[in-house]
Structure 1
Amino acid sequence: MSNDIQNTEPLKRLLLDSFLLDSREAFHIARTTISSQNGLVYHCHNYAELFWIKQGAGIHVINGAEVPLQPGSLFMIRPSDMHTFKLGKPGMNMVITNIAFRKENLDFFRKRYFPGSDSFFWSNKKIPFTCQLAPGQLNEVSALADRLIGQPRDFLHLDFIMLHIFRLITSLRSEYLHIPHWLAYALENYNSPERFKRGTEEFVALAGRSPDHINRTLKKFLKQTLTETVNKARLRFASQQLIMTNSPIKTICYDCGFDNVPYFHRVFKKHYGITPLEYQKRNHKIF
């Protein structure tokens, strides 16, 4: 969710060459901990930038709007974008990893891998492309960045990490790419017995919004209610457990947050067309 604001700060233009050690470098990569507002200026630049939040939380001030940031928030910043960051409460900080490269490389990526694309860096929307990485995906890209920081900053290593990130993002569920960041975060992280047992209240806590607002947003983007969303997540987990484990159906039922086994059987059959036992016999594999 974004809020429009009127930014009165002077705009500073940043140049990629000021970050590169020499003209042979193809990109700049850095991991920075923002712990105060000092030095955070509203700026644009002559390069493309990709960044993600590893730890902490704050606000992305982008093209006159404010967008909440949390671990896993990833943005693709176009050369024409104007942005800066704001921290939340005093004492908070954010750990940001960013990769900056010449805008000419955008033409290469688009021509070779995304011809005619109006997504990623080539979106025409006010807010540039953004998505929410799941914890495992966040750890994956952060580990790649760790490896890259000590490597030559040439085209080979730029292509290596950018293609990996493009592949990772295109593998995300397509219905999650254009929904609000807070909802994507809740959907990706509502995925364990500990969360299922706390029901819709846990999903509300993950989303950080009121139940009514969550219901309206789910109906708008996914055509389903909060209760339906929670049950789908529980049933998806149940189906995985039926295939990949030898756990009794009763145990799986309770792990998914269902207190009543007959009710679990009914909702499972309604969703998958067969009972949990039939599903297990049809799909269970032992390796």
Structure 2
Amino acid sequence: MCILHFTASQIIDPEIEAYYRVHNTRNNVRTLHTHEYYEIHFVVKGTLKHLFADGKSHVLNVGGLLFIRPDDAHVCLSANEEECHYINIAYSLNTVFELFKFLGDGFQSKRLLDSKYPPIAHLTQEEKRQFLAKFEKIVTLAIHQTALIKTSLRALLIDILVNYYSAFHFNDEPQKPDWLLHVYDEMHKKENFILGSERMVELSEKSHHHLCREFKKHFKATPTSFLNQLRLNYAANMLANSFNSITDIALDLNFNNLSHFHHLFKKQYGVTPAVFRKEQKIR
């Protein structure tokens, strides 16, 4: 089997340590290949088929995002007769290494790098709009503004890694449904998690029973325990990093029963909110 190998010097612009283009399946490389850099593929039109050396393939529709590692032998084809257009952004090995180092151990980059096939993300309609807006902002920069282009491309990569390839997306099978991942992400926003499970049901557009069953199946927790965890995490951060009163913090998080708040907090952290704050040395 013939597998081509592209070096960084062939593709990467040394001034921005990256490469960015809008490709189509009519004129891209049609042979299995690896490369000396990382790639992001984002489908903007049609359906893209990534074929790998072992015959396995991934099919991405519009809004599909793929993170390709240097050793992933692959070729990009149209999944049907329609021409497919996709954004291709390549980053140097050094750029990705430095960003992984910056993100730290909490990002768990090893899981991203060790997965058998390139990790896929499916963006919502709003996420597609935001991604395209950020990319279009980059391509409106003057070509000679290399420092700004370099920074903007790095900022986009951090956004992609943090928002779409965080550790929770790589839990073991079964694969989480897109609608459930969307709810999971949205419920991390304070405006949502303080509203409780009713907001989860609203966002999911599923029945309460179906949501609870799927959530427990995929995240090994009930929606209630998940939401309480978020609220308690937020409370602990406010106790440690603000001067708001304990009562104000609890009420702000919709803990209208202060005794219940104290009980849950002590169960989670082993001490009362007042002791926890004292231990954080907030004056």
Is TM more than 0.5 here?
A: yes
Aligned to 2:6: none
1:29 and 2:26 matched: no
Q: Which amino acid aligns with 2:218?
A: F
Which residue of 55, 66, 76 maps to 2:67? 76
Aligned to 1:175: 168
With over 3 angstroms needed to count, the CA separation of the structure-2 counterparts of 1:202 and 1:82, relative to structure 1, is: farther
1:130 and 2:148 matched: no
Q: Report the secondary structure of 2:231's partner residue.
A: helix
Which residue of 184, 187, 190 maps to 1:190? 187
Which residue of 183, 187, 202 maps to 1:205? 202
With over 3 angstroms needed to count, the CA separation of the structure-2 counterparts of 1:23 and 1:272, relative to structure 1, is: closer
Q: Do the aligned partners of 2:21 and 2:89 also contact (CA within 8 Å) in 1?
A: yes
Name the Cα RMSD after superposition.
5.4
1:228 and 2:228 matched: no
With over 3 angstroms needed to count, the CA separation of the structure-2 counterparts of 1:65 and 1:129, relative to structure 1, is: closer
TM-score under structure 1 length normalisation: 0.55
Q: Which amino acid aligns with 2:66?
A: F
Alpha-carbon deviation of 1:232? 0.8
Q: Which amino acid aligns with 2:21?
A: I
With over 3 angstroms needed to count, the CA separation of the structure-2 counterparts of 1:185 and 1:80, relative to structure 1, is: same
Q: Do the aligned partners of 2:138 and 2:153 also contact (CA within 8 Å) in 1?
A: no
Q: Report the secondary structure of 2:40's partner residue.
A: strand
Identity %: 19
Q: Report the secondary structure of 2:256's partner residue.
A: coil
With over 3 angstroms needed to count, the CA separation of the structure-2 counterparts of 1:272 and 1:41, relative to structure 1, is: same
Q: Do the aligned partners of 1:119 and 1:129 also contact (CA within 8 Å) in 2?
A: no
Alpha-carbon deviation of 1:60? 6.8
Q: Do the aligned partners of 2:39 and 2:89 also contact (CA within 8 Å) in 1?
A: yes
> What does 1:1-287 align with in structure 2 at a 5 Å threshold?
27-29=19-21, 46=30, 50-51=40-41, 69=63, 74-76=65-67, 79-82=74-77, 98-101=87-90, 119=112, 123-125=115-117, 128-130=119-121, 146-147=137-138, 150-151=142-143, 161=153, 165=157, 169=161, 173-178=166-171, 180=176, 181-285=178-282
Q: Distance in 2 between matches of 1:170 and 1:28?
A: 20
Q: Which amino acid aligns with 2:157?
A: I
- Larger helix percent: 2
* Offset from partner CA, 1:186-207 (integer Å, 9 cap, x none): 3333245432342111123334
Q: Which amino acid aligns with 1:50?
A: I
Q: Which amino acid aligns with 1:199?
A: G
Q: Report the secondary structure of 2:87's partner residue.
A: strand
Q: Distance in 2 between matches of 1:124 and 1:260?
A: 48
Q: Distance in 2 between matches of 1:230 and 1:124?
A: 32
Q: Report the secondary structure of 1:28's partner residue.
A: strand
Please list every run of 5 or more consecutive structure 2 residues that lacks an aligned counterpart in the other structure: 1-9, 50-56, 101-109
Please list every run of 5 or more consecutive structure 1 residues that lacks an aligned counterpart in the other structure: 1-21, 33-39, 86-95
Q: Count residues in correspondence.
A: 231
Q: Distance in 1 between matches of 2:271 and 2:12?
A: 61
Alpha-carbon deviation of 1:217? 3.4
Q: Do the aligned partners of 1:218 and 1:224 also contact (CA within 8 Å) in 2?
A: yes
Alpha-carbon deviation of 1:167? 9.4
With over 3 angstroms needed to count, the CA separation of the structure-2 counterparts of 1:226 and 1:143, relative to structure 1, is: same
Aligned to 2:53: none
Alpha-carbon deviation of 1:248? 1.6
Query: Which is worse superposed, 261-270 or 216-225?
Result: 216-225
